[in-house]
Each structure stands twice: as structure tokens, then as C-alpha cells.
Amino acid sequence: MNEKKVFVIGFPKTGTKSINSALTTLGYKVRGPFGLRDPNISRNAYEMAFRFVEQYDAFEDVPWCVIYKELDKKYPGSKFILTLRPTEKWIKSQVEHFGIKTRPIREWIYGVGYPKGNEDIYIARYERHKKEVLEYFKDRPDDLLVFRLTEGDGWEKLCQFLHKDGPDSEFPHENKGVDRSSKRKRKKIRRVIKRSFVVLAGLLLLGIVLYWMRF
């Protein structure tokens, strides 16, 4: 187990899943989000998080990103990674991924449970989080890494911050928008093929029945 804890405190859809894969490759045991559907997550988050910290080395997504101050105080010497993405791309991804699907944890973080139609609220919270994190760590450059996957940040920057040797593999890029679009297209094509097969099978069966009815 790695000695120092690593907390990824960027909001969802900023490359947190890619960092998860990268940290796993580096040997960290990573814990992702939790409490997404817990209606009492604002009260339960801290106790649950502290319990998970004893079992894992690194942590990403919600609610880790909004309890970083408490984590910093309880686990001194930890490393923090703020993943960032251009705001316009971030909110677009939020709307495409979550739409009007509400979750208690988003109600806690943003004040409203879904991004579609509430883009201004989400953007304001995203920008405020970024400013607050940078302000909090402004005198501690060794404890915070600002990581922008969309601008080319990768193994060199991450491994230098964590004092790890970089692997030979390419840096992971999870949940890319183009990948999701391709998956949706492939799923749609499979549905069309399946329906076409059912129609053809029905026509074939009808043809056989009509053929035998002639006799």
C-alpha cells in the first residue's frame, strides 16, 4: 500500500476516470464515487469517506472533491490533484451525461439535482470550486497538482508530482465524448439489425405458411 494518500478533487467529467486508471496503473488502490443515491449524503459523507480512506490509497470523483479540506486536516501529508477542463466543454458533458436525471449528491453539491436547464448554476459552482481549491493550496505547491488532461497533461506531470516512475503505456483517456458517441451509434445499429432480423424472420415464416396453405 502507498504511504501517502492521493485525493483527486476535480468535479466529475474533468478526467477523473482517466486519473483513476492512471493511478491504478501506478499501483494505487483507487476508490471512486460513493453515496450517489443517498438522500442523507451531506450528513453521511464524512464518516463513510474516513472509513474508505483506511481501505484505499487514492480517491476520485464525488464526494471526495467537496470534502478536501476535511481530508487534508485528517490526513496531513496527502497529495491532492485538481482535474480541470474548459468550462464550456465541462458543462456540455454534464448535460449530455446527466441531463435531467437527478441525484441527491448533485443536489448537495450544486443546489439542484440535474444540469439540464440549470447550466448557469452548475457553471458558477464549478468555477467557485476551482477558485476555492487554488486559494486553499496557494502556499503549498508541493501538495496540489493542477491537471488538465484536455491540454496534454499526462504521465510526466503526474509521476513527477507523485515521485513515481512513468510507465511505457499511453496515458489513459476514459469516457471520451467521441467514444460515447460511437457507442451510442453502435448500439443504435445493433437495434436496427435486430429489428430487421425479426421482420425478415416473420416474413419468412409467413411465406412458408402461405406456401403450405396452397396444398
- Encode the chain (215 residues) as per-residue pLDDT tens digits: 557 999 999 999 999 999 999 999 999 999 999 999 999 999 999 999 999 999 999 999 999 999 999 999 999 999 999 999 999 999 999 999 999 999 999 999 999 999 999 999 999 999 999 999 999 999 999 999 999 999 999 999 999 999 999 999 999 998 765 444 444 444 555 565 566 666 676 677 776 766 676 65
> Quick one: 24 exposed, middle or buried, by C-beta within 10 A (0-12, 13-18, 19+)?
middle
Backbone angles phi, psi at 83, to 5 degrees: -85, 135
**158 & 200 share domain:** no
Structural domain for 186, as ranges: 178-215
> Is 170 inside any structural domain?
no
β partners of residue 7: 59, 80
> Is 1 inside any structural domain?
no
Round to whole Å and give the CA distance between 202 and 215: 21
**194 & 158 share domain:** no
**44 & 128 share domain:** yes
**184 & 126 share domain:** no
Which of 13, 18, 53, 6 shows the shortest CA–CA distance to 34? 53
**76 & 158 share domain:** yes
Domains of the chain: total: 2
Residues 6+ apart with CB under 8 A from 129: 11, 65, 66
**19 & 125 share domain:** yes
Is the Cβ–Cβ distance between 87 and 127 less than 8 Å? yes
